[in-house]
A and B are shown apart, each in its own frame.
Chain A
Amino acid sequence: MPQALLTILSERLVRLLKCRESKSEVPVESGEYMVEDLLLIALGSVCESRSIPENSDKETFIAVNGRVYYDKKERVKVDGDVRITLFEVGAGG
């Protein structure tokens, strides 16, 4: 069965979502999912929160298999391991 591999790249997010760890692996059945449902499955295994709070004062990004999704209701296909990464906005130059 495919695995959903969660990585939370921001320590602040780990605290905000009340997660035990910043990484997790959880089996997920192949099929089509909304991004927010995939997030629920991935976060559920290691965090108390199951979704990103809406009025957080920093922008949180969700990337699935190397692509960022702004619309959490967008659908993604799962037919192998799926990488889910959460991070916040950076600085740069």
Chain B
Amino acid sequence: MRVVYSVHGKILHVDLSSNKVWIEKYGDDLLSRYAGSRGIEAKLYWDLVPPDAHPFSEKNVFFVGSGTFTATPMPSSGRTTVAFKSPATGMYFKASVGGSFGLKLKHNGYDLIVVRGKAEKPVYIYVENDYVDILPAERYWGLDVRTTHIELLRKHGYESETLLIGPAGEKLVKFASVNCSVYNVAARGGGGAVLGSKLVKGIVVGKGERSIALYNPKRFLELAMKAVYNIMNDEALIATAKFGTASATMGLDKTSTLPVYNFRKSYWEHAYRNAGEYYVEAGYLVGRVGCAQCIVSCHRHTKTAKYGGVDTVGPEYETSNALGGNLGNPDTDALIKMNDLANIYGMDTISLGGVLGWFLETYEKGYLKNVAEELGTEPTWGNVEALLRLIEKIARREGVGDLLAEGTAVACEKVDPETCKWALQARGLEHSRVETRIARAYALAFALNPRGPDHLHTETFAEFGFSEAAKKLIKRLTGSEENAGVGKDTGRPEIVVWHEDIYAVTDSLGLCAFIDTAGYAVDEFMLAELFEAATGIEMSAEKLMRCGERIVTLERIIQVREGRTRKDDTLPWRILNEPITTREGVTYKLSKEWFDVMLNKYFTLRKWDTKTGVPLPEKLRELGLDFTVQEALKHLSA
């Protein structure tokens, strides 16, 4: 195992049950096969998390890792990957987060941290270079993320960085988040609850004194500067920098792919109130915030004097829609307040919006009428007072909040299975904010996503064809620019496969997916060159995409081992059974038949068994995943 470049080759293991801490070293072999954080974490997950582990037991393991390009001069490469078994889906779950935690983790000499076991009392993990400790966290237990961050920095030095859970994680809210640098959130899947179940308030890393050695620093810097130039000239990234991710809102509204009122409609006359341009026009935006190393800096620093005065970061696109139009809420001041509450209590806004949307429709249809008394107001569409109170209750699991904190899948069963028809969730995860009955690459990607019906694993934004670069990519993947645009079916499996593979590589390198799947400032060819210059490991675009394929396939077999089958490759009931009509009066409907055709095509492209969705042994061996073949065979003969 020779010296590694660009990463430290060090994994920090913490076992809370035995109070032991140790370092695992790894080398080029692992890096060249798995590209970086997400891939390595998937491999470790396969090794360490038993398929029958309960998400809240000490057998669950929490992984957090910085990317291969993190702490190098490569722009937009400070993304950090977390992984765990999700209490919402009961399966392997990966989430990505910005902020500066990963950047500082690497400055302390570690690439990844693996947390297993359970503490007896609330603790936090402290890392500073060679010093690692498990410290008492009682005085922080119950505090919101913002307050905890400030307190911890006062204690450990203001150049420290934090990864924290809020009160929602402590209360095991099923969609509790993990927050880095306060407002950057690994939101989905209930990672916050996993740490909460381990009685871990968070991890603090000190300023750190290590540096990253690059194999060919001059070449790497040259390529990084080229990436900077490309980013500054990418039209999608220019818009995202200025107006944030919520600049997607009106494009979606125009194409009737903007889900509102719990996916009952897909366009809205008040959509602009949830748009990034509106935040600028109306003066809510007071500054921009960037994840580590990211010059796009799409995150929003917003303020409002209303609702007691709010000074916060956000809302992103998903939040703007999930807590805006999804709930019939055009009140931007309220939206900013709701986003802040989700930030500091530590909750995923997509799932929060999903469960609230379900709840409003459930109440409208005559259920849970007593909640009006509990709230002191009727929970109706756009009733901000009710929504704010509900959010507070969910974070504390108080009253009806205790039901809603379980997530839509569990809540609808508890109330009445009939209400599950408008539960916009599949496999336990609430559906992301795009109308998949019309955006069909998204529909297929969502159905296959190991997380659930969600966009942060593929982001097939090119499907919309909103830019020249997007259209070119569609042509490259499907043979014709004509296939760009929503409402179409041709080439969707090919589009999904490419996006899944490159996203896996992107995550592992620590790069932000907006740079190569929403904007197109770098492609797999440039990434391969960067990888070589950084690590000294021989790499080509083809080999790099192979890493992506390897990671995606490994994640699939992990979930097969946890019980996933083809019947899990599906979408919420409403999406499959109800049609949606555009502003222009065109009706779209997805069907089981459509899915069967698409899934068959996808599985054939992937060389996975079309009947079960299990990766075939020949493909597993081809990818060097021989250690999973035995598991695959178990499910193929069944």
Contact = CB atoms under 8 A, between A and B. Distances in A.
A and B touch in the complex (CB under 8 A): yes
Interface of A: 7, 9-10, 12, 57, 59, 61, 63, 66-68, 70, 83, 85, 87-93
Contacts of A66: 272-273, 278, 281-282
B272 A68 contact: yes
Nearest to B321: A92
A69 B526 CA distance: 41
Contacts of A9: 242-243, 277, 280-281
Nearest to B455: A93
Contact of A91 (B254, B280, B282, B466): B466
Given A7-B281, A83-B281, A92 B513 contact: no
Contacts of B518: 91-93
A77 to B, nearest CB: 15
B519 interface: yes
Interface string B141-171: 0000000000000000000000000000000
A91 B519 contact: yes
Interface string B315-338: 011100000000000000000000
Contacts of A92: 240, 245-249, 251-252, 276, 317, 461, 518
Interface string B235-276: 111011011011111111110000000000000011111011
Nearest to A87: B277
Q: Which 7 A-B pairs have the closest CB atoms?
A: A92-B248, A90-B247, A91-B236, A90-B239, A89-B251, A92-B317, A68-B272
B271 A68 contact: yes
A65 B242 CA distance: 20
A91 B248 CA distance: 5
Given A9-B277, A93-B513, 15 more contacts: A59-B251, A89-B247, A89-B250, A89-B251, A89-B254, A90-B236, A90-B246, A90-B248, A90-B250, A91-B239, A91-B245, A91-B247, A92-B461, A93-B248, A93-B514
B340 interface: no
Interface in B452-472: 455-456, 459, 461, 466, 468
Question: Interface centre among B248, B250, B461, B513, by most A CB within 10 Å?
Answer: B250
5 contacts: A90-B276, A92-B248, A93-B317, A93-B459, A93-B514
A91 B514 contact: yes
A92 B318 CA distance: 9
Contacts of B282: 66
A90 B254 contact: no
B232 to A, nearest CB: 13
A66 B249 CA distance: 14
B461 A91 contact: yes
Contact of B240 (A10, A12, A59, A91): A91
Contacts of B271: 68
Given A67-B270, A91-B461, A91-B518, A85 B247 contact: no
Given A68-B253, A92-B317, A85 B277 contact: yes
Contacts of A70: 254, 583
B277 A63 contact: yes
Given A9-B243, A66-B273, A90 B251 contact: yes
Nearest to A12: B235
Given A90-B239, A91-B239, A68 B245 contact: no
Contacts of A7: 281
A7 to B, nearest CB: 6
Interface in B547-585: 583
A83 B277 CA distance: 13
A71 to B, nearest CB: 10
B239 A67 contact: no
Contacts of B461: 91-93
A87 B276 CA distance: 11
A9 B583 CA distance: 25
Contacts of B249: 90, 92
B239 A88 contact: yes
Contacts of A83: 281
A83 B280 CA distance: 13
Contacts of A10: 239
A46 to B, nearest CB: 17
Nearest to A70: B254
Contacts of B242: 9
Nearest to A93: B245
Nearest to B277: A87
Question: Interface centre among B235, B280, B282, by most A CB within 10 Å?
Answer: B235
Given A89-B254, A91-B236, A92-B249, A67 B272 contact: yes
B240 to A, nearest CB: 5
A12 B236 CA distance: 13
A70 B253 CA distance: 10
A61 B503 CA distance: 31
A42 to B, nearest CB: 14
A55 B247 CA distance: 22
Nearest to B468: A57
Nearest to B240: A91
A23 to B, nearest CB: 11
B278 to A, nearest CB: 6
A1 to B, nearest CB: 22
A78 B3 CA distance: 70
Contacts of A63: 272, 277-278, 281
Interface in B330-372: none
Nearest to A84: B281
Contacts of B235: 12
Given A91-B461, A93-B461, A85 B281 contact: yes
Contacts of B519: 91
Nearest to B249: A92
Contacts of A88: 239
Contacts of A68: 250, 253, 271-272, 275
B431 to A, nearest CB: 15
